[in-house]
């Protein structure tokens, strides 16, 4: 059996010294899509930050894309982040450079050297998200939806095994949210594993996937009931 993309067992998630989630057990295999839901302050962001190395896993065991979260050293975090793609609510694009140069910056930071290969890769991911013709614009010249598409393209640059999307539609209007969700759904169908934190229940209902919830300091899978009409 293939090793899971993500595995947590009896993991305590801490924000500074405060315990926010206790005894977390979670297994995600290649190609799975999970929504992560819960009220503000319930631990969603702390869990995400633990998964991409911003917060240390202090108690319990856990691994993500082959990295042991308990033993993860600071110098290993850049290598971890080459194997996962991260999409943020507020895009986190650099406004002082073009779309192309935003993506070029990431490739250089993650060890790419060959100019032709970098150009080809940037064109490939921008084409994948429908932004190939906007490569010369600065982020502030784009709509929120277009900026999020660029952010998703950035997450795809190193062909990650797993995408962590933290409220990716949180700053978007309903129509644009649907477009971005449709894009993430297509990326999932291409074989990528995705964990998406969200408050948008309309998207959860429209694009049905497994759902896990943070509540009362615990993480548990939500069993959705279907009713026939």
Q: Which CATH superfamily is domain 6-222 in?
A: P-loop containing nucleotide triphosphate hydrolases (3.40.50.300)
**Banded pLDDT at 224 (limits 50, 70, 90):** low
Tell me the domain boundaries of the chain: 6-222
pLDDT at residue number 2: 66
Question: Does the pTM of the predicted model rise above 0.85?
Answer: yes
Taking 80 as the threshold, does the pLDDT of residue 225 lie above it? no
Taking 70 as the threshold, does the pLDDT of residue 8 lie above it? yes
- % pLDDT > 90, the chain: 79
pLDDT mean over 61-84: 93
Question: Which tens digit of pLDDT belongs to each residue from 114-155?
Answer: 999 999 999 999 999 999 999 999 999 999 999 999 999 999
Q: How far apart are CA 33 and CA 209, in angstroms?
A: 6
């Amino acid at each position: 059996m293939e090793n899971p993309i993500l595995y947590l067992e009896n993991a305590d998630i801490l924000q500074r010294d405060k315990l926010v989630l206790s005894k977390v057990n979670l297994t995600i295999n290649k190609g799975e899509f999970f929504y992560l839901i819960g009220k503000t302050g319930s631990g969603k962001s702390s869990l995400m930050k633990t998964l991409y190395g911003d917060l240390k896993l202090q108690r319990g065991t856990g691994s993500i894309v082959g990295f042991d979260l308990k033993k993860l050293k600071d110098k290993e975090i850049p290598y971890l982040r080459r194997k996962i793609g991260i999409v943020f609510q507020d895009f986190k694009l650099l406004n002082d450079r073009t779309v192309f140069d935003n993506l070029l910056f990431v490739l250089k930071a993650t060890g790419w050297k060959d100019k032709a290969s970098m150009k080809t890769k940037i064109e490939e991911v921008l084409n994948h998200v429908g932004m190939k013709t906007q490569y010369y614009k600065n982020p502030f010249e784009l709509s929120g939806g277009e900026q999020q598409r660029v952010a998703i393209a950035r997450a795809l640059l190193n062909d990650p095994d797993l995408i962590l999307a933290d409220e990716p539609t949180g700053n978007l209007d309903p129509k644009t949210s649907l477009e971005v969700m449709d894009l993430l759904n297509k990326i999932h169908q291409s074989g990528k594993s995705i964990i998406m934190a969200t408050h948008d229940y309309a998207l959860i209902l429209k694009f049905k996937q497994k759902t896990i919830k943070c509540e009362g300091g615990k993480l548990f899978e939500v069993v959705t009931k279907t009713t026939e009409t």
